[in-house]
Structure 1
Amino acid sequence: MKPIQAILGISTANKVFLTKEIVQPYYSTQFHFHHECQLTYIVESSGQRIIGNNIEYFEPGELVFLGSGVPHVWYNDKEYFQGSEHLRAQSLAMYINPDQLVESLEGFGCRNVLDHWLTISRRGVIYTGASKTELIGLFKALFYQEGMAKLITFLQLIDRLMHATDYRLLSSPDYVNSYSENDQQRMERLFQFIFANFRRDISLDEIASLANMNEFSFCRYFKSRTQKSFTQFVNDLRIGHACKLMQERYNPIETVAYESGFNNITHFNRQFKRIKGVTPRDYRKQLRTFS
Structure 2
Amino acid sequence: MKPQFERVTFPKGCSLRVYHRRVPEIPFEWHHHPEYELTLTLNSRGWRFIGDHIGQYQAPDLVLVPSDMPHTWASTATPDAKEPHTAIVIWFSGAWALRLAEICPEYGKIRRLLRSATTGLAFSTETAALMSGRLAGLLGESATNRLHTALDLLLELAEAETTPLSKAGVTVPATSDAEPAQLTRVLNHLHKRFQEIIRIDALCRVGNISPRSLHRLFVKHTGESVSDYLSKLRVGRACMRLAETDLPVSMIAGEVGLSNLANFNRQFRRVRQMTPTAYREYFQKHGELPGGAGEGVQVRPRSLDRPRRRVSRR
If the length of structure 2 is used for normalisation, what is the TM-score?
0.51
Query: SS in structure 2 opposite 1:120?
Result: helix
Change (3 A) 1:5 1:149: closer
CA distances 1:171-190 after superposition (whole Å, capped 9, x unpaired)? 023433435448979xxxxx
Give the length in aligned residue pairs: 185
Kindly report which structure 2 residues correspond to 1:77-116, keeping only aligned pairs within 5 A, or say none: 77=76, 86=82, 88-109=84-105, 113-116=109-112
Cα shift at 1:89: 1.9
Query: SS in structure 1 opposite 2:133?
Result: helix
Tell me what 2:74 maps to: 75
Tell me what 2:156 maps to: 160
Could you tell me how far apart the structure 2 residues matched to 1:171 and 1:180 are? 21
Query: SS in structure 2 opposite 1:162?
Result: helix
Could you tell me how far apart the structure 1 residues matched to 2:107 and 2:144 are? 23
Tell me what 1:127 maps to: 123
Tell me what 1:19 maps to: 18
Could you tell me how far apart the structure 2 residues matched to 1:100 and 1:142 are? 19
Cα shift at 1:98: 1.9
Cα shift at 1:136: 3.0
Change (3 A) 1:99 1:3: same
Cα shift at 1:14: 5.6
Could you tell me how far apart the structure 2 residues matched to 1:12 and 1:36 are? 14
CA distances 1:126-152 after superposition (whole Å, capped 9, x unpaired)? 110543332332355311362654443
User: 1:3, 1:71 within 8 Å by CA — same for their partners in 2?
Assistant: yes
- Unpaired runs of 5+ residues, structure 1, are 186-190, 199-291
Tell me what 2:53 maps to: 54
Q: From 132, 146, 171, give the equivalent of 1:176.
A: 171
Change (3 A) 1:160 1:59: same
Tell me what 2:38 maps to: 39
If the length of structure 1 is used for normalisation, what is the TM-score?
0.54
Query: SS in structure 2 opposite 1:2?
Result: coil
Change (3 A) 1:116 1:126: same
Change (3 A) 1:4 1:113: same
Q: Match of 1:65, as an amino acid?
A: L
Change (3 A) 1:25 1:147: closer
Could you tell me how far apart the structure 2 residues matched to 1:136 and 1:20 are? 14
Q: Match of 2:88, as an amino acid?
A: L
Could you tell me how far apart the structure 2 residues matched to 1:72 and 1:28 are? 12
Query: SS in structure 2 opposite 1:100?
Result: helix
User: 1:41, 1:93 within 8 Å by CA — same for their partners in 2?
Assistant: yes
Could you tell me how far apart the structure 2 residues matched to 1:106 and 1:194 are? 44
User: 1:15, 1:97 within 8 Å by CA — same for their partners in 2?
Assistant: no
User: 1:5, 1:180 within 8 Å by CA — same for their partners in 2?
Assistant: no
Change (3 A) 1:50 1:69: same
Could you tell me how far apart the structure 2 residues matched to 1:14 and 1:149 are? 13
Change (3 A) 1:46 1:18: same
Cα shift at 1:86: 4.5
Tell me what 2:5 maps to: 5
What CA RMSD, in Å, does the superposition of the two structures yield over aligned residues? 3.2
**How high is the sequence identity, in percent, across the aligned residues?**
18
User: 2:3, 2:172 within 8 Å by CA — same for their partners in 1?
Assistant: no
CA distances 1:1-41 after superposition (whole Å, capped 9, x unpaired)? 32122113x42686321111001112242200001111111
Could you tell me how far apart the structure 2 residues matched to 1:107 and 1:94 are? 22
Could you tell me how far apart the structure 1 residues matched to 2:141 and 2:112 are? 29
Query: SS in structure 1 opposite 2:151?
Result: helix
Could you tell me how far apart the structure 2 residues matched to 1:25 and 1:113 are? 37
